[in-house]
C-alpha cells in the first residue's frame, strides 16, 4: 500500500539588519556610541576623572542594548515600560465612553478610534457588505466569513494540497496592488453539549424515518458534553488610493474594495467562504470581543447598535491585562517561529478548544515583487557583512549563524525564481469572566504554544488593548 510521506515546513527567519555580531543596526549604533562618548569627552578637554561617571553610564547603556529579555533588547523593554507608565499617569490607559463629549468623534478606544463602519450595497445583488474605513489612513477593510473544513479526518494528500493552495492564494495577493495586508482569525469559544442538542432538536423533521431520527439522537447522545463554537474570518486591508482608479470619495473607495474582495480565491485551501461579512456581522464580532456575553445576542439587538456602542463602556489597559466591561483579556505576540522544520498540523494544539475562550490571528503582509527583491538583497548583504566582520576578528561561526545564513541564501534563491514573500506573525488573546481565572488561562495558552512545534510567545507588554484589536476585523495590524 502506497503511503504519502508528510513533508515538513520551516526556514522562517526574523528580518535582520547589518550590525556587529548578532546585533542589529540600532543596537550597534548604541553600543559604538556608548563606547566612544566617554573617550570623546576626555579628548575634548575634560578631566580623566570624568570617566568615573561616564564609563559606568556607558556600561549600563551597552548592557541594556545587548541583553535580551523576552526576545527583545532590554532597552526596548525598559523604554516601553517607561512610556506605558507615563501614559498611565496621564490617564491615557483608561477609557470611559460615558465621559466622551462626542462619541461619534472617537468611537472605539485606542488604535480603533479612527475606524468607521460603512454599509455598502453590492451591485451583484448578494446583499449588503460591511466595510471598516480607517479615516486616518484611508484604507478599507473587508471581511469574509469562513468555514474551515479541518484536517483530522482528511487524508494526508488532501491536506498537503490545501497547504499548497493556501500558499498560492497568498502569493496571488502580491499581484494586487491595492492589498496592503491580510489576516485570518479563528475564535474558539467553549460551550456546553446542550448547544449541540438544542441545535439538532430545532432541525429534526418530524416526518423523517424513525431510523434516521434514532441515528441522529444516538450521535447527539454520544457527543462530548463539552464542545466549542468556532468562528473564522479572513480580513483584507485595501488601499484604494494605490489603484489606477484613484477614488475621490468613500463610495468609490468601497467599490474598489469590493472588487479586491471578490478576487480572493480560496478554492482548495481547506476553507469554504460562507459569505461576505455584513455590517451586522462585524458589529457582532467587535461587540463580542469587548463583551463576550453579547456574542450570541439576538440579531435585532446587534443591528440596533451604532458603531461606538460596539466598543466597551469602560476599559483599563494594564501592563499585561486588558479589562473591558467586566471581562479580562490577556494577549500574546509571537516571539520566535520554530527553529526546526514542523508538520502542517503545528498549530493544532493552539487552535484546539480549551477551558477558556481564545482568539488566534495569523497576520500577513504580502510583499510586492520589487519590495521582496529589495528585502532579500538587504538580508544577504547583512549576512555578508557579518561574515566579513567575523573573518576580520577571527571569530568562528556558530552553528546557529550558519543555519541562519543558509536560510537567507535559500530564501534569495526561491525569490529569484518567482516565489512570493510574506511577513507574518501570530497574535493570541484569551478572555475570562473572572480575574481569578487569568493565571489558568495563561497556563493554557502557554502550554498549547509549547506543544505547537516550539512556538515561542511573549505577553504583549503595555499593548494589551492594541493586541486585542489586531484580532478583530478592523484592519489594525502592526505589520504595516
Domain boundaries, the chain: 96-367+420-470
> What are the tens digits of pLDDT across the range 16-69?
666 776 677 788 888 888 888 888 888 887 888 888 888 888 898 888 888 888
Q: C-alpha cell of 115? A: 475606524
**Of residues 12, 5, 2, 9, the one with CA closest to residue 336:** 12
The span from the first CA to the last CA of the chain, in angstroms, equals: 49
Q: Which residue has the higher pLDDT, 341 or 439?
A: 439
Q: Which residue has the higher pLDDT, 273 or 451?
A: 273
146-162: b (≥16 Cβ within 10 Å) or e: beeeebeeeeeeebbeb
Q: What span, in angstroms and rounded, lies between the C-alpha atoms of 449 and 198?
A: 33
Mean local confidence (pLDDT), 146-168: 82
For residue 224, the model assigns a pLDDT of: 59
Q: C-alpha cell of 227? A: 464542545
Specify the pTM. Answer: 0.86
Q: C-alpha cell of 18? A: 547589518
Is the pLDDT at 195 greater than 70? The verdict is no
Q: C-alpha cell of 21? A: 555580531
Q: How many residues does the chain have?
A: 480
Find all residues with CB under 8 Å of 208, minimum gap 6, and list them.
Answer: none
Q: What are the CA-CA distances from residue 106 to residues 139, 175, 293 (Å)?
A: 18, 35, 24
The DSSP H or E segment spanning 383 is: helix 369-393
Q: What average pLDDT does the chain have? A: 85
The DSSP H or E segment spanning 191 is: strand 179-192
Residue 182 pLDDT class (50, 70, 90 cuts): very high
Q: What span, in angstroms and rounded, lies between the C-alpha atoms of 350 and 187?
A: 11
Q: What span, in angstroms and rounded, lies between the C-alpha atoms of 261 and 255?
A: 10
The alpha carbon of residue 112 and the mean position of all alpha carbons in its chain are separated, in whole angstroms, by 15
For residue 185, the model assigns a pLDDT of: 96
CB 419 within 8 A of CB 167: no
Residue 400 pLDDT class (50, 70, 90 cuts): confident
The alpha carbon of residue 370 and the mean position of all alpha carbons in its chain are separated, in whole angstroms, by 24
Q: What are the CA-CA distances from residue 123 to residues 127, 161, 255, 259, 261 (Å)?
A: 9, 34, 9, 11, 14
Is the pLDDT at 358 greater than 60? The verdict is yes
CB 178 within 8 A of CB 243: yes
Name residue, grid cell 497547504. Answer: 163
Amino acid at each position: 500500500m502506497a503511503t504519502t510521506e508528510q513533508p515538513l515546513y520551516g526556514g522562517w527567519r526574523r528580518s535582520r539588519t547589518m550590525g556587529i555580531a548578532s546585533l542589529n543596526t540600532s543596537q550597534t549604533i548604541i553600543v559604538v556610541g556608548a563606547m566612544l562618548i566617554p573617550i570623546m569627552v576626555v579628548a575634548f578637554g575634560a578631566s580623566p576623572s570624568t570617566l568615573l561617571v561616564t564609563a559606568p553610564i556607558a556600561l549600563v547603556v551597552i548592557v541594556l542594548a545587548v541583553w535580551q529579555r523576552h526576545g527583545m533588547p532590554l532597552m526596548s523593554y525598559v523604554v516601553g515600560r517607561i512610556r506605558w507608565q507615563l501614559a498611565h499617569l496621564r490617564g491615557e490607559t483608561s477609557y470611559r465612553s460615558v465621559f466622551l463629549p462626542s462619541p461619534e468623534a472617537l468611537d472605539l478606544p485606542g488604535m480603533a478610534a479612527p475606524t468607521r463602519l460603512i454599509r455598502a450595497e453590492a451591485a451583484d445583488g448578494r446583499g449588503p457588505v460591511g466595510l471598516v474605513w480607517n479615516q486616518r489612513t484611508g484604507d478599507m477593510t473587508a471581511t469574509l466569513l469562513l468555514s474551515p473544513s479541518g484536517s483530522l479526518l482528511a487524508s494526508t494528500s488532501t491536506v498537503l494540497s490545501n497547504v499548497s493552495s493556501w500558499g498560492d492564494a497568498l502569493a496571488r495577493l502580491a499581484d494586487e496592488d491595492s492589498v496592503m495586508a491580510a489576516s485570518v482569525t479563528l475564535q474558539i469559544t467553549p460551550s456546553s453539549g446542550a448547544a449541540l442538542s438544542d441545535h439538532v432538536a430545532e432541525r429534526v423533521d418530524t416526518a423523517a424515518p424513525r431510523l434516521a431520527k434514532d441515528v441522529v439522537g444516538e450521535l447527539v447522545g454520544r457527543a462530548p458534553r463539552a464542545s466549542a463554537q468556532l468562528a473564522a474570518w479572513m480580513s483584507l486591508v485595501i488601499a484604494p488610493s494605490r489603484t489606477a482608479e484613484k477614488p475621490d470619495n468613500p463610495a468609490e473607495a468601497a467599490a474598489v474594495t469590493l472588487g479586491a474582495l471578490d478576487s480572493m480565491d480560496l478554492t482548495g485551501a481547506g476553507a469554504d467562504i460562507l459569505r461576505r461579512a455584513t455590517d451586522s456581522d462585524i458589529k457582532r464580532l467587535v461587540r463580542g470581543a469587548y463583551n463576550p456575553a453579547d456574542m450570541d445576542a439576538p440579531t435585532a439587538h446587534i443591528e440596533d447598535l451604532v458603531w461606538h456602542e460596539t466598543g466597551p463602556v469602560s476599559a483599563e489597559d494594564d501592563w499585561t491585562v486588558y479589562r473591558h466591561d467586566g471581562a479580562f483579556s490577556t494577549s500574546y505576540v509571537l516571539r520566535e517561529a520554530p527553529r526546526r522544520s514542523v508538520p502542517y498540523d503545528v498549530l493544532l494544539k493552539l487552535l484546539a478548544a480549551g477551558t477558556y475562550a481564545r482568539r488566534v490571528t495569523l497576520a500577513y503582509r504580502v510583499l510586492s515583487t520589487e519590495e521582496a527583491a529589495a528585502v532579500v538583497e538587504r538580508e544577504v548583504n547583512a549576512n555578508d557583512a557579518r561574515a566579513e566582520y567575523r573573518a576580520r576578528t577571527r571569530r568562528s561561526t556558530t552553528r546557529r549563524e550558519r543555519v541562519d545564513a543558509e536560510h537567507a541564501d535559500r530564501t534569495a534563491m526561491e525569490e529569484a525564481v518567482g516565489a512570493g514573500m510574506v511577513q507574518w506573525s501570530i497574535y493570541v488573546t484569551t478572555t475570562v469572566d473572572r480575574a481569578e481565572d487569568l493565571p489558568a488561562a495563561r497556563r493554557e495558552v502557554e502550554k498549547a504554544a509549547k506543544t505547537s512545534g516550539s512556538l515561542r510567545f511573549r505577553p504583549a507588554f503595555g499593548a494589551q488593548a492594541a493586541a486585542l484589536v489586531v484580532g478583530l476585523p478592523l484592519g489594525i495590524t502592526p505589520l504595516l
